[in-house]
Amino acid sequence: MNTDLEDIVNGLGKHFKSLDVDFFIVGAKARDIISKESGLELSRRKTSDVDFGLFVDSWDTLDAMRELFRNDENIELNPDKKNKVRYYYKGTPFDLVPFGGIEDADGKVSWPPCYDTIMTVIGYEEALKSAKVIAIGDTEVKVVTPEMLVALKIVSWDENPARDRDAQDINYIMENYENIDADVENCLFDHYLDILDRFEHDHHLSSLAIMGIRIARFASEEHIDLIKNVLNDSDQREKLARKMVSFNVVERETQVERRSSWVDALIYGMNYERDQIIYR
């Protein structure tokens, strides 16, 4: 069953607000919202679930939320006790990714009582702060920016490289970034002609460098370092580039090489402002 997104946001939002919990939409549903806002064709990778990032101060808040859910006839708790994030609203699956006061020093969340389910949530707080308010029907909701979606997806993929969907979502945002952000070309010509020169006036690569600059501005130092550790590892970078390309695509090796150049442009952008300071 696929319940209307506005209905889900309103049905869950009332519980989030009653506990003073700030939230935003992340994951593949955010990708689709970004696509629609930009007038793009949706990704071929379909999704029915909705992922919400929740800023919570304690586990008590999540316990209170679970009790509210238990008393809501539209919400079903997940019978699989091992999956700590999955619920159902009128049959449609949704995941809650908590962060904030329950994180450890390494940006990880471990679910009590056994603390055997662990998730990295580094970057979620900054992604919430930079989230864009978008209208879903008559309802306004915060949605992760495309730049921070890529930043979060890189960490998620690195934790589990078997999650092809993360690499596919990274590919979709990077491939369409010039169309997602209509202002990126003006930004290049007004402020970053040197980046255009650096990439020999390849506007796509130059736009991905701008994405890198924005990630470096939005994300925490810890998150930036984590992304760089992933992308500066030549083996991981090649693995990611390969996962970004479909197996049945024509001239696959050429496409893999092109994705590697996208990643290089992203890294260049993430280092850009630091390098400008160093070389001045």
Kindly report, residue by residue over 169-179, the tens digit of the pLDDT.
Answer: 999 999 999 99
Does residue 23 sit in the same domain as residue 56? yes
pLDDT in tens, 80-116: 878 889 999 999 999 999 999 999 999 999 998 888 8
More confident site: 156 or 280: 156
pLDDT for 262? 97
Q: How many H helices and E strands in the chain?
A: 13, 9
End-to-end alpha carbon distance in the chain: 58
Q: Looking at the structure, do residues 136 and 212 belong to the same domain, yes or no? A: no
Q: What's the structural domain count of the chain?
A: 2
Whether the CB-CB separation of 56 and 34 falls below 8 Å is answered with no
Q: Which of 43-47, 126-130, 200-204, 239-243 has the lowest mean pLDDT?
A: 43-47
DSSP 38-79: HTPPPPSS----EEEEEEES-HHHHHHHHHHHHT-TTEEE-S
Q: Are residues 97 and 228 in the same domain?
A: no
Domain ranges, residue 243: 151-279
**Range with lowest mean pLDDT among 25-34, 43-52, 133-142:** 43-52
Q: Which of 118, 144, 170 is the last residue of a domain?
A: 144
Kindly state whether residues 178 and 137 are assigned to the same domain. no
Q: Please determine, for residue 64, whether its predicted confidence score (pLDDT) is greater than 80.
A: yes
Q: Can you give the pLDDT at residue 275?
A: 62
Same domain, 213 and 139: no
Give the CATH number, domain containing residue 78.
3.30.460
Please tell me whether residues 49 and 86 are part of one structural domain.
Answer: yes
Which of the pair, 120 or 246, is modelled with greater confidence? 120
Within this chain, do residues 130 and 25 fall inside the same structural domain, yes or no?
yes
Specify whether the CB–CB gap between 32 and 47 falls below 8 A: yes
Q: Are residues 201 and 224 in the same domain?
A: yes
Distance separating alpha carbons of residues 133 and 140, to the nearest angstrom: 6
120 and 178, same structural domain?
A: no
Of 6, 101, 114, nearest in space to 56 by CA: 101
pLDDT tens readout for residues 114-167: 888 889 999 999 999 999 999 999 999 999 999 999 999 999 999 988 889 999
Domain termination residue (choose one: 119, 144, 169): 144
Among 98, 115, 144, the domain-final residue is 144
pLDDT in tens, 190-228: 999 999 999 999 999 999 999 999 999 999 999 999 999
Q: Tell me: do 22 and 119 sit in the same domain.
A: yes
262 and 155 in a single domain? The answer is yes
- Residue 13: is its pLDDT beyond 70? yes
Q: Are residues 179 and 255 located together in one domain of the fold?
A: yes
